[in-house]
Every structure is written in structure tokens, then in C-alpha cells.
Structure 1
Amino acid sequence: MKWDPNKYVQFADHRDRPFYDLTARITAATPRLVVDLGCGPGPLTHSLAERWPDARVVGLDSSEEMIEQARAKQHADNLSFESADASNWMPKPETDVLVSNAMLQWIPEHRQLIARWLEALAPGAWFAAQVPGNFGSPSHTLMRQLADTERWAPQLAGVLRHDDASGEPADYLKILLDAGFESDVWETTYGQILSGPNPVLEWVRGTALRPVLARLNAEDAAEFEARYAELVSEAYPAIDDHRGGTLTLFPFRRIFMVGRKR
């Protein structure tokens, strides 16, 4: 599956806010190595380099497109970007801060991965991650239901994750506590207001719809998108913004976990 960095940052204001809410809970003073796992195109990783100028900050992502753009546009003396597959990656002993923002939901075994990473981190190290908790929302359920219809099931069977792609807050809290971490786990539902025609479709084009687009040819992808656009516009009706345009309310639940190893 290929990522489109430009499409991903289309809603940067909304996508970036959870990262800052997450990392604000990290109070590490002088970390040696800070890792951003699933760094995407890199601007948020750059903010970590600015926050901790004496640390070595590394952004990791499995998407060559994301890493290429990050290296081209994000520069600091203490910042670098590398390709890595999170499913077989392990933190180095000197890792003092490990951050993962909106990435783990793509990995079915991420709960087991988290446990292994926490075990590998040294005492005093920080772990902070955020995952979407909206897989039961219409934006996702309608996509899965459409993919399961007679028209699309032969091509899309098994492509889309189910509503358990992310765990619940209690699941992550237990993982952190079992690993000996002082833990802070919470959830937030952002009342996101999007503008433009069918903006929820535009949103998922940058994330959840990517596996579908990767599986279908151009003609079929356009057909799938057209039907999905009809369904999602009914689920998220636009309202008049009193200036001649329209706005769409797109609630988005996210789950946060932050901990420091005792």
C-alpha cells in the first residue's frame, strides 16, 4: 500500500492536534534518543527535535514516500529519518522517549508489540502512543459494509480491518501497568468541523480508504468511491455555514496512552 504524503497532510490542523495533546504529557527533561515511530512526512517529528535540541531525534516509517518527503522538507542538526517496519523493530537501550502517533492501528498484533517495546525500554524511559478509536463510526462501518457486498467482496475480502483494530483504554492501561510503567491513559472525542464538498470522503482518502484504493484498479476504485461518497454524505450531512458554504461535523474519538518506566 502506497501513501500520499500530500493527501495525508490535507487536514493537518485536525491530524496534528492529538500529537501535541499526547506529547504534552511527556515531561522528560534531557532525553538522549527520541524516536517517532510512524513519523509520516515528518513535521511533527521536527517539533520533537525543536523541543529537545540536545537529543538525537529519529523519525521512522515503513512508507518510502513518507520518508522521502520528510528528508526533503524537515531539517535540524539533531534530526534524521529512516525506513523501518514497526512489526519487527525494537528500541535501542538508550531510547529515552518512544512516541507513536496514529500508527499502531495498522498492525493487528500491536498490543503484543507494545508489551515487547515496554520490556526493552530502560527504567526512566517514556512511552507515548495515540490510536484512533473510531472504527465503529459510520465513516468506517459504511466502508466495511460496502466492501462486504456481493459487488465488492470478491476483490476486497480481508482488506479492511474490523472494529477491533484498536483496543479500549483499559486494554492499554493494563499493558502499561503490567510492564511496570507509571501510566496515564485517556480518550478524547474531537468535534472536528470540516469544510468543502463531502470532506469525510476527502479525509478517508488519506488514511482508511488507502487499502481499498491499493487493491482496486482505477475504474473500480472510482465506482467504489462514488457509492461510498453517497453513503457517507448521508451519514454526515453538511450544514450551512451562513457564508454561502457548508460545514460538516466529523466527531473523531482517539485513545491516548503515556507512561514512564519505574
Structure 2
Amino acid sequence: MSASANGSPAKPDWQPALYKRFAGERERPALDLIQRVPLDRPDFILDVGCGAGNVTALLRERWPQSRLLGMDNSPAMLTAARRLLPEVAFVEGDAARWTPPEPPDLLFTNAVLQWLPHHETLFPRLFGLVRPGGVMAVQMPRNHGRPSHTLMIETAKSGPWRAKLATQIDRPAPVAEPAFYARLMAPLADNVEIWETDYLMRLAGDNPVVTWTRATGLRPFMEPLDEDEKTRFEADYAERIRKAYPPEADGSTLFAFKRIFILAVRPA
């Protein structure tokens, strides 16, 4: 799932097949958020940053009678989404600027907005697209203070690629504390619910945390590097990750991943 905006990281070359590794673990937060949406039968649902359509399919399963529109900035992801759900409309767009053809009853965005800066203006803009009485539902990873992400910065600082990765090294944390969003959305909404969940996942494979981040958070670090640098950077990062997330006795790896959820209801 992806989005772009001025001041955000370079648009990554998303690979749907790689992103779908650990698909069940990636979809669980979306399922948990869907179950909390306080709408019985929304007429029109907008999936912002729909990616390969996996979450769009979950929305369709939950509300089969609703009209659905998926939006993403990655042509590769949209191709995969159209293949998965040929009956659903998908369009290319930038979540920071794009406007839907009509106000949605539900604006749903899963693991997307962490890629975009300026949440102080982005969230009110997106919320303003929602139909009065409608809902904006947001899920974002907030694992940026954990080794899975801090070791990217550590690796970037310690190698000959430091100058190339200065933007990523200096980038502030992309997701704020829950209180920031509570204060931001409360004056705009009839009701705001915010909570966090720490998912403790048991991942299979050799050094699977690297496989997980390779599809998402690691991508902006790899994009500016040449092929030799990419190989050496990932090897350095992988060694650090192996020490931070050692395998369990059965060969699996425990990986704790924090996510923040936001539900905001527009005044009718």
C-alpha cells in the first residue's frame, strides 16, 4: 500500500508478490479495524492506498452491497488489485491531493498514511472528504522506535552510503503519539476513538524480520543505492536484525509490531 506527496520519501517500486509475504499477519490489523467501524451498510466505501487489493477484498466481504473504489499511487499494485477484484473500480492517485468523485460514507486507509508527511493538515483534509455522518478509519504501523526500524538508521549511519541516505537518517518519526491525533481530530468530529495494539507474531523462515521490512520500511533506504551498495547494506542490516530477533527453539522468530487505530465520525 502506498501513497506519495511533496516532502515524502521517493515513490518506491512496490512489488506486490513481496508485499504479500506474511499476508495473513499484514491483514489482521485491517480486519480488526473493519470490525470496529460503526456503520451497518455504507453506500460508498473508499479504500485509500488500496495496494494489491487484499484489504479491499476484506471490505467487500464485510459490506457486499456497498460500492467500492480503491485508490493507490502504484501502477504495479493497481494491476494486481484489478486482477484480484475485476468487479471493483481502482484508480491511480496521490492520497495527499486526490479527491474522490463523491464523498464516501467510509474512508478506509490501512498502513498508508505513515508514508505521508504533515499529518496536521493531511488528516483534516482526508476527513473533510467524508460524507456528513460518515466515518474515517485509519490504521498505521507505529513500530519506528523498535529494532526493526531503528537498525535501518543505524546501518545507514555506519556505512559509506551515509550521504546518499541523509534524507532517511534525518526523517522524523512518521507517526505521532496517539494524543496528537486525539487533539487534532476532536474539534472536527462527533466522536473519535484511538487505540493501539501490539501484535506479537511468530514468523517462519530464515531471518524473517528482514523479509518483512524488505517489502515496506526498508525500501526507501534501498532505492538511492546502486546494486553493490544494496547488497552490502542489506547484509549489514540483516546481521544486526538477526542479533535483535534471534530464532526460538522451534526455528520461528517472535516479532512484536505496534499499530495505531483511529476512528473518527463526521458530524451529521
Common fold, TM-score beyond 0.5?
yes
AA at the equivalent of 1:247: S
**Deviation by residue 1:48-70 (Cα, 9 ceiling, x = unmatched):** 12322332101111111100111
Q: Distance in 1 between matches of 2:196 and 2:101?
A: 29
Structure 2 SS opposite 1:15: helix
1:83 to 56, 71, 92: 92
Structure 1 pair 154–161 and aligned structure 2 pair: CA distance change class (3 A): closer
Q: TM-score, normalised by structure 2?
A: 0.91
Structure 1 contact 43–74 (Cα < 8 Å) conserved: no
Counterpart for residue 12 of structure 1: 23
* Structure 1: runs of 5+ lacking an equivalent: none
Structure 1 pair 228–132 and aligned structure 2 pair: CA distance change class (3 A): same
AA at the equivalent of 1:187: E
Is 1:62 aligned to 2:73, yes or no?
A: yes
Counterpart for residue 256 of structure 1: 261
AA at the equivalent of 2:192: S
Structure 1 contact 194–248 (Cα < 8 Å) conserved: yes
**Deviation by residue 1:57-111 (Cα, 9 ceiling, x = unmatched):** 01111111100111112233xx211111111123454310000100000001233
Counterpart for residue 185 of structure 1: 194
Matched length: 256
Structure 1 SS opposite 2:20: helix
TM-superposed deviation, 1:120: 3.5
AA at the equivalent of 2:78: I
Structure 2 SS opposite 1:54: coil
Q: Distance in 2 between matches of 1:43 and 1:29?
A: 21
Q: Distance in 2 between matches of 1:160 and 1:15?
A: 26
Counterpart for residue 154 of structure 1: 163
AA at the equivalent of 1:86: A
Q: TM-score, normalised by structure 1?
A: 0.93
Structure 2 SS opposite 1:258: strand
Q: Distance in 2 between matches of 1:65 and 1:260?
A: 33
Structure 2 contact 153–168 (Cα < 8 Å) conserved: no
AA at the equivalent of 2:254: L
Q: Distance in 2 between matches of 1:93 and 1:235?
A: 47
Structure 1 SS opposite 2:264: strand
Is 1:216 aligned to 2:216, yes or no?
A: no
**Deviation by residue 1:185-220 (Cα, 9 ceiling, x = unmatched):** 000000111111100111111001111222112211
Structure 1 contact 193–249 (Cα < 8 Å) conserved: yes
Q: Distance in 2 between matches of 1:88 and 1:5?
A: 24
